[in-house]
Amino acid sequence: MWHAYNLVRVGDRLRSTTLRKVTTENAAGTVSSQKQRTTLTVLVESVYFDVQGCSLQVKGRNAEENAYVKMGAYHTIDLELQRKFTIVKDEWDSVSLDRVDEATDIARHADLSAIVMQEGLGHICLITSSMTLVRCRVEVNVPKKRKGFQSSQLDKAMQRFYEQLYQGLNKHINFGIVKCVILASPGFTKDDFYEYCFRQAIKEDNKVLIENKPKFVLVHSSSGHRQALKEVLEDPNIANKLADTRAALEVKALADFYSMLKSDPSRAFYGVKHVEMANENHAIEVLLISDSLFRSNKIEERRRFVKLVDSVRENAGQVRIFSSLHPSGEQLNQLTGVAAILRFPMHEPDDSDIDDDYGPTDGDGNGLDYPTNAAS
């Protein structure tokens, strides 16, 4: 459904079955209404993605004759898993076609889960090739240690915390799909939870968990918040577990960019017009671009970014399209959503020479209100 969200854009036509409330009046003047299932084609004006429910709401005007809906009347079509739909575009650009390939290539799907935790706070996350989803948040009030404090209260609170995490793990992690479970925390919280998990698994004869014990990897994180996933994914101890996932490629590309920005800033540009200038000189080795930019409501803006991607590829550059629902994609959006590692150093133009009209963006490609500078 995330891939569908990135494919359905303003100006497309979308056809699918839907329910429409139809009001009728008989000869006696009695008015009645009932829901009718019909097939509608709408000219898309807005798209909303429900992350937790994994469903789409596509709003637009009716574009084809229909027995129940007048031409031009507004209707919202709800799309969900297993519901067929057809997308009609005036042009299928390279980014859209790549998205179709990715959505239908099972080998590209990441099979990764992570539990980031600290005392009293934990997040159970599923990391796919397109997004990071928090499936469960566990929060338990844990008393702080102080002089003369009875440790039994702390122990009981932590036992409650571990029990809730354990239940969440069993409920939300499908070991038939997931190939690696990362446990991350500051200190020894992850180690204690790991031991608790398998004591409970043996006690309850939880064969699924016991058989999948080799899939667990313990790493350090600075906190139990979702944002700590970025540093977790960068940990070299799990690099081999992530080697073939899109998340790993994004993390590495962004780390390389920041490293270049620090060591040789003349080879690291960000900001749309700065990057476009580098591309005109065939200087881009790796292009980093957020998928949120391709969801812009302005067709000309979408074409601009597709043209940039195509041009970089034609000049033998690599293109990394970041998911705005991954921590790395969120970070790239703070850099205007587009950045580049260059093949050779380039003189940075003065900001007065380039009026870059793209600042930081949110997950839907909309600009944020505060300004940003290009490469520095």
Beta-bridge partners for 289: 321, 338
Region 148-170 average pLDDT: 86
* pLDDT tens per residue, range 208-245: 999 999 889 999 999 999 888 888 877 776 666 665 55
- Share the mean pLDDT of the chain: 85
Strands (E), 51-94: 55-62, 74-79, 85-88
How confident is the model at residue 366, as a pLDDT?
Answer: 55
Q: Where are the domains of the chain?
A: 1-23+32-90, 112-244, 253-351
On the question of a common fold for 1-23+32-90 and 112-244, the answer reads: no
- The CATH H-level superfamily of 253-351 is Ribosomal protein L30/S12 (3.30.1330.30)
Region 5-30 average pLDDT: 86
Burial class (CB in 10 A: 0-12, 13-18, 19+), 18: buried
Q: Whole-angstrom Cα distance, residue 25 to residue 218?
A: 67
* pLDDT tens per residue, range 78-136: 998 888 999 999 999 999 998 898 777 654 554 788 999 999 999 999 887 667 788 89
How confident is the model at residue 25, as a pLDDT?
Answer: 74
* Total H helices, total E strands in the chain: 11, 14
How confident is the model at residue 154, as a pLDDT?
Answer: 83
Cβ neighbour number for residue 200 with a 10 Å cutoff: 16
Cβ neighbour number for residue 368 with a 10 Å cutoff: 13
* pLDDT tens per residue, range 302-340: 999 999 999 999 999 999 999 887 788 889 999 899 999
Q: Encoding tokens for residue 352?
A: 């007065």
How confident is the model at residue 364, as a pLDDT?
Answer: 58
- Closest-CA residue to 232 (of 335, 311, 326): 326
31-50 and 13-25 strand pairing: antiparallel
- Per the rule left: phi > 0, alpha: psi between -120 and 50, beta: everything else, 136 is beta
> Side-chain half-sphere of 248: how many Cα atoms within 13 Å?
16
Does residue 348 register a pLDDT over 80?
Answer: no
How confident is the model at residue 108, as a pLDDT?
Answer: 52
* pLDDT tens per residue, range 273-302: 999 999 999 999 999 999 999 988 888 999
For domain 1-23+32-90, which CATH number applies: 2.60.120.560, 2.30.110.10, 2.30.30.870, 3.40.1110.10?
A: 2.30.30.870
Beta-bridge partners for 18: 38
Within 8 A by CB and 6+ apart from 78, the residues are 18, 55, 56, 57
Which 8-state DSSP code applies to residue 54? T
Q: Whole-angstrom Cα distance, residue 189 to residue 134?
A: 19
How confident is the model at residue 59, as a pLDDT?
Answer: 95
For domain 112-244, which CATH number applies: 3.40.50.2000, 3.40.50.720, 3.40.50.150, 3.30.420.60?
A: 3.30.420.60
Distance between start and end Cα atoms, the chain: 38
Is 71 in a helix, a strand, or coil?
coil
Proportion of the chain above pLDDT 70, given as a percent:
85
